[in-house]
Structure formats: C-alpha cells, structure tokens
Structure 1
C-alpha cells in the first residue's frame, strides 16, 4: 500500500491554491479513487484542467463545498 500523502497546513494557504488529487485525498484522509468518486457523485466540484496531463482543484472551491455540506 502506498504511503498516504498529507499536505502542509491548508489553513495557511490562500483560496487560489491548486491541489492535486493526491493532495485532496491526503487532506480528506481518503484514497484517490474516492476523490474521483466524489466528483462523479457531486460531493466535491470537478477539478480544473490546467494542461494535457495536469488537473487541479482550487482550494477555495473545496472549502466552499465543505461549508455547503456542513
């Protein structure tokens, strides 16, 4: 099993910060597959496509989704 990646303290990052699927998974304590399952289920917003092999979520979008879910 791969070692879980836990990103730095996200409270100090601005809403414009970009997170990878791995970082979102580490932040939420779930697998990368679960992150994509949440996107398909509408639990979190879809990420932004930055390049041909680069997809990132905006931290502000994820924080807003957390507030709506709470």
Structure 2
C-alpha cells in the first residue's frame, strides 16, 4: 500500500503507527507498523527521529524527518 504524505507539516503518533478502524472511525494505516512503546524506545535509542513539542500537550514529528526515516530503512 502506498501512503501519500504532504510535503511539509507534522504527523502525530497515530498517523505514524496507525489506528484500527471501528464502526465510527475508518482508522489510519501505519507508516511504521510498530507499537507506541516501541516507537518511543526507538526515539530514546536514536533509531527514530525525535519529535518536537508544538504545545504543552502536543508532540509531533516533522513529515520530512519521518519520510527520511522511511527512505533510510527501505534501502
């Protein structure tokens, strides 16, 4: 499956690891199919890009850094 990303902007955690669909929510496909705890461990280990704080309760990753990660692991 090919997932199109915008050229710039930010992605929140569910947009990266995906979200299962429910009766009221179509869900989101995973760009990086791992659990949230695995992704955060990868951030701590330097395997995945560090997020940025957009506000006191808002953490996100730049599209460019996620795209670079995906391209790097696809090689």
The answer, yes or no, to whether TM exceeds 0.5 is yes
Runs of 4+ in 1 over 6 A off after TM superposition: none
Normalising by structure 1, we get a TM-score of 0.71
How far has the Cα of 1:57 moved from its partner? 0.4
How far has the Cα of 1:54 moved from its partner? 0.2
Structure 1 unmatched ranges of 5 or more: 1-8
Structure exhibiting the larger radius of gyration computed from Cα positions? 2
Partner of 1:18: 10
Whole-Å Cα distance in 2 between the matches of residues 57 and 45 of structure 1?
Answer: 8
Structure 2 unmatched ranges of 5 or more: 19-29
CA RMSD in angstroms, aligned pairs only: 1.7
Partner of 1:5: none
Can you list the C-alpha shifts for 1:11-39, whole angstroms capped at 9, x where unaligned? 1x323131112221122121111110110
Normalising by structure 2, we get a TM-score of 0.67
Which structure has more helix as a fraction of its residues? Answer: 1
Please list, as runs of the form range in 1=range in 2, the aligned pairs for 1:1-70 lying within 5 A after superposition: 10-11=3-4, 13-26=5-18, 27=30, 28-69=32-73, 70=75
